[in-house]
Amino acid sequence: MQSALMVIRCTATSPIRALPRVLLRLSLVAGLALSVTGCSTLDSLNPFGGEKYETKLLPDVPADDIYDQALARIQHRDYEGAAKKFSELEKQYPYSQWSRRGLLMTVYSQYENASYDDAIGSANRYIALYPTSPDTPYVYYLAGMSHYSLIPDISRDQERAEKALRMFQAVVEKYPKSEYVEDSRYKIQVTRDQLAGKEMSVGRFYLTKKNYPAAVNRFREVLSKYQTTRHTEEALYRLTEAYMAMGISSEAQTAAAVLGHNFPDGQWYKDAYGLLKGGGLEPNEDSGSWISRSFKKLGLG
């Protein structure tokens, strides 16, 4: 097999398949035409004369050779090099199965190299180009994992968690029989917990500032969107606390009652019960409250 670095001298028997790309390259560089039936020399590249330049053609490297070279780099854990090599398939063999396979492996290599933003960009391109490919569920999963790997702590913006959640939900909803569904479901729960944690953090901050309406809105988000996360217990207690401070006793009693019904042995319920008792109240659920309705809507409470 000829080396990718080897040059082919132009002759009447040069491979015709290599000529179109070379012709384009030469026309861009020199503005000259090359005959398929014979050879020519470029006599006037140097306007001051003197030297003759012989036309040389760079060979196309077979697609399977490029693919194998990229796989070899993966075996040596040179993921950055592998990604670059796989990307050559897109450039040299566009609109082919080699191009699709190369882009798929580019996503994988970039993810393994922890080049997450690059992997996300390549994954989005793959999804746009090949929405019905059998490998598209895997690409959604890799895109989700890339966002997931960049999720910061809850003190910072959670845009990454939201994007990861959307990708994992796409796997579950669009490809329910995919082998990536089980782990996607687990990651969905983790990212939802992260997003709920962010809402709780902001809600607690508003409580410390005695901005009770703003705090209630944050805890309401937790119950409305992330009710199945571990933050639900505390959110119900914090609602009890906020409504008591606002003097809205019926909602405070409802929050405590729903908390006691769903988590009767938890410390948060004991604290909510003690808070109500200190105000001369008992837990009492108002079925018309948004808190009660939100739990019944999900079959809880």
Q: Are 74 and 187 part of one and the same domain?
A: yes
Q: In the chain, what percentage of residues exceed pLDDT 90?
A: 76
Domain for residue 204, yes or no? no
Q: Are 180 and 137 part of one and the same domain?
A: yes
Q: Domain end: 41, 57, 73, which one? A: 57
Domain for residue 3, yes or no? no
pLDDT in tens, 98-146: 999 999 999 999 999 999 999 999 999 999 999 999 999 999 999 999 9
Q: Are 164 and 214 part of one and the same domain?
A: no
Question: What's the pTM?
Answer: 0.76
Q: For position 25, what pLDDT does the model report? A: 33
Q: Are 177 and 263 part of one and the same domain?
A: no
Q: Are 51 and 121 part of one and the same domain?
A: no
- Residue 292: pLDDT above 80? yes
Task: Give the E-state strand segments of 16-76 in sequence order.
Answer: 41-42, 53-54, 56-57
Mean pLDDT confidence for 229-248: 97
Q: Are 96 and 176 part of one and the same domain?
A: yes
Tokens of 283: 């837990």
Domain for residue 215, yes or no? yes
- Residue 27: pLDDT above 90? no
Summarize the chain as % helix, strand, coil (round to 5): 65, 5, 35
Q: Are 51 and 68 part of one and the same domain?
A: no
Mean pLDDT confidence for 74-87: 97
| Residue 40 domain boundaries | 8-57
- For the chain, the domain total comes to 3
Residues 6+ apart with CB under 8 A from 244: 252, 275, 276, 279
Q: Are 17 and 84 part of one and the same domain?
A: no
Domain for residue 1, yes or no? no
Domain for residue 271, yes or no? yes
Q: Are 51 and 76 part of one and the same domain?
A: no
Lowest mean pLDDT among 55-69, 155-169, 198-212, 257-271: 55-69
The 3-state DSSP class for residue 56 equals: strand
Q: Any idea which residue has 């944690």 for tokens?
A: 197
Domain for residue 291, yes or no? yes
Q: Are 134 and 252 part of one and the same domain?
A: no
Q: Are 28 and 67 part of one and the same domain?
A: no
Domain for residue 200, yes or no? no
Q: Are 171 and 187 part of one and the same domain?
A: yes
Tokens of 200: 């709780």
- Residue 9: pLDDT above 90? no
Q: For position 61, what pLDDT does the model report? A: 87
Whether the Cβ atoms of residue 199 and residue 239 lie closer than 8 Å to each other: no
